[in-house]
Structure 1
């Protein structure tokens, strides 16, 4: 790693969205809520003396309350900061939706300045709070010149992950985030981001022409009749099926899914969340090849939640249906 990657006087913008990293106890309620500002978060981190860090409060919400529209607004702010010449950008937010917001940002962001998402599993008032260390690691990654090559990144626990691969794998552990299919892109070592695995960026999706479309996820489960598929036509613009294994559903679901696929994009993902949906191995009714022959779209390696965001982004951008199907081929 060259010394340029750790050069002093680089500039980083920290955009604070709220989340556990910004939460402290309050007198009015039992439990923690988002109270800390971006400046508060930065002030709690030793080791930033050689980096010009500016903090901005963009939202102050728990991760569960963020919306797609919030992320569209965030991307506009990121691209403005990129045009202003900032060296890197860090986004702090709640971990409930971090893997999804980072992926949606990766779909839209067109700038060259690195964008790094981070958060915390323990609130600022907890013993062993992980927020300051995660924020420091995120800032150090955002100033790494090689980070420009990898798209939007997620940094927690000194691990650097690609937004498209990272998943939250535990409800409470400080080591909750991992990329189970690929492993991390790199690590922070002695304050330097070491990125070992190159990752080709996928072309961005156009920002929405319309309000984000309604797309829901319906999960297959043992003995389910598929009743949740009833009445979706006319209420949603697209559907993601979180199927068994490599892309299977109960045989009773097949007629409903075929009807829905005739009127809207229906994406076939796996509820497992790691590994690809197959295309031609099984041939029974409700198998992956059967469903794809009836008009469903294979999600590739995307889990159902990221497949939903990719579908939403293309629907909102007005992408023609054949091009939507092609977009999922980038994630095989």
Structure 2
């Protein structure tokens, strides 16, 4: 029986290691059955499985479909948890951050170890995520990521280790923590909710490619990406610098009306147009490139994809990145 104080939690399973077990054919592990939430008194749990994929198979189209699904679930639930593979979890979290304008808490989690390992971290992460999703202080914060007891903002969270159970981090660190030392979990936030714009493309029709800078790069692969894509993101060096040979290429692309966003391959910090040598950040911006602010390259790609799919011009896109309207 559903009472007036019963909390309603939707758990959306999408696959990943948290749902994985050794394959019947003996070749590695594959997504099969996700864990269920237990230890939530006074909660009615609604499980859904829109798809069951390893996270490298998740596309932006899956992410947008997930956003639409959650938008429909939010009015009828007090919280939503999404289980997801860790390889692209931060990208799904950020796409939801950009496109999902609900006040209902949405929390993503997963696991680093599969169900038949003795130290499977899936059930603990799922229970933590459920408690955070149903906590009143989680409302209005946008999608969150909960992993290893830490609570992260979707804009800054990133996977920082390939195998460790505390695989998620990102500067400036978690915005909260959940501890389950006693019978009542303690959810604590270190930051206030912030107002944020959301964007609502019907589909992600734009193609955006990422290029990775390195010492001695003279533009290999640039022309092909420029031709195929509607816009490009370059994971540049340091504060957003490139070898001199890239300056005329970026100027050509920007002059043709296609946006080129400059992110950094460094693990943390903003892109700042400081240097005036050929290929330095100041010369790239003068040539028409757009600094990515503090977004890493794969999150900058998603924002650029959303804006291009909405038909935004290069100058409108520049304004969004410069003002941090995300």
TM-score bracket, normalised by the shorter chain, equals over 0.9
Aligned match of 2:59 in 44, 57, 67? 67
Equivalent residue, structure 1, for 2:189 = 195
* Residue aligned with 1:234, SS: helix
Aligned match of 2:18 in 9, 17, 21? 21
Equivalent residue, structure 2, for 1:4 = none
In 2, are the aligned partners of 1:151 and 1:201 still within 8 Å (CA)?
no
**CA RMSD of superposed structures (Å):** 1.5
Equivalent residue, structure 2, for 1:91 = 82
2 CA distance for matches of 1:14 and 1:27?
Answer: 26
In 2, are the aligned partners of 1:141 and 1:192 still within 8 Å (CA)?
no
Equivalent residue, structure 1, for 2:40 = 48
Equivalent residue, structure 2, for 1:10 = 7
Q: CA deviation at 1:8?
A: 6.0
* Residue aligned with 1:128, SS: coil
Q: CA deviation at 1:219?
A: 0.9
1 CA distance for matches of 2:269 and 2:136?
Answer: 31
Equivalent residue, structure 2, for 1:242 = 235
2 CA distance for matches of 1:108 and 1:98?
Answer: 16
Residue 276 in 1 paired to residue 266 in 2? Answer: no
* Residue aligned with 2:318, SS: helix
The answer for unaligned runs of 5 or more in structure 2 is none
Q: CA deviation at 1:12?
A: 0.6
Where do 4+ consecutive residues of structure 1 move more than 4 Å? none
Aligned match of 2:286 in 285, 293, 296? 293
Q: TM-score, normalised by structure 2?
A: 0.94
2 CA distance for matches of 1:185 and 1:76?
Answer: 26
1 CA distance for matches of 2:191 and 2:10?
Answer: 26
Equivalent residue, structure 1, for 2:29 = 32
Equivalent residue, structure 2, for 1:144 = 135
* Residue aligned with 2:67, SS: helix
Q: CA deviation at 1:192?
A: 2.8
| Superimposed CA distance per residue, residues 150-200 of structure 1 (whole angstroms, 9 cap, x where no aligned partner) | 111000001000000101000000011012x21111000231321121241
* Residue aligned with 1:245, SS: coil
In 2, are the aligned partners of 1:273 and 1:302 still within 8 Å (CA)?
no
2 CA distance for matches of 1:177 and 1:258?
Answer: 36
1 CA distance for matches of 2:259 and 2:139?
Answer: 33
Q: CA deviation at 1:29?
A: 3.2
Q: CA deviation at 1:93?
A: 0.8
* Residue aligned with 1:150, SS: coil
Q: CA deviation at 1:331?
A: 3.3
Equivalent residue, structure 1, for 2:69 = 77
In 2, are the aligned partners of 1:88 and 1:114 still within 8 Å (CA)?
yes
Equivalent residue, structure 1, for 2:249 = 256
Query: Is the alpha carbon distance of 1:197 and 1:211 closer, same or farther for their aligned partners in structure 2, counting shifts above 3 Å?
Result: closer
Q: CA deviation at 1:211?
A: 4.1
Q: TM-score, normalised by structure 1?
A: 0.92
1 CA distance for matches of 2:168 and 2:208?
Answer: 25
* Residue aligned with 1:230, SS: helix
1 CA distance for matches of 2:39 and 2:323?
Answer: 39
Q: What count of residue pairs does the alignment treat as equivalent?
A: 317
Equivalent residue, structure 2, for 1:128 = 119
Equivalent residue, structure 1, for 2:317 = 324
1 CA distance for matches of 2:166 and 2:57?
Answer: 23
In 1, are the aligned partners of 2:102 and 2:140 still within 8 Å (CA)?
no
2 CA distance for matches of 1:99 and 1:86?
Answer: 23
Q: CA deviation at 1:305?
A: 0.8
In 2, are the aligned partners of 1:93 and 1:118 still within 8 Å (CA)?
yes
The answer for unaligned runs of 5 or more in structure 1 is 1-6
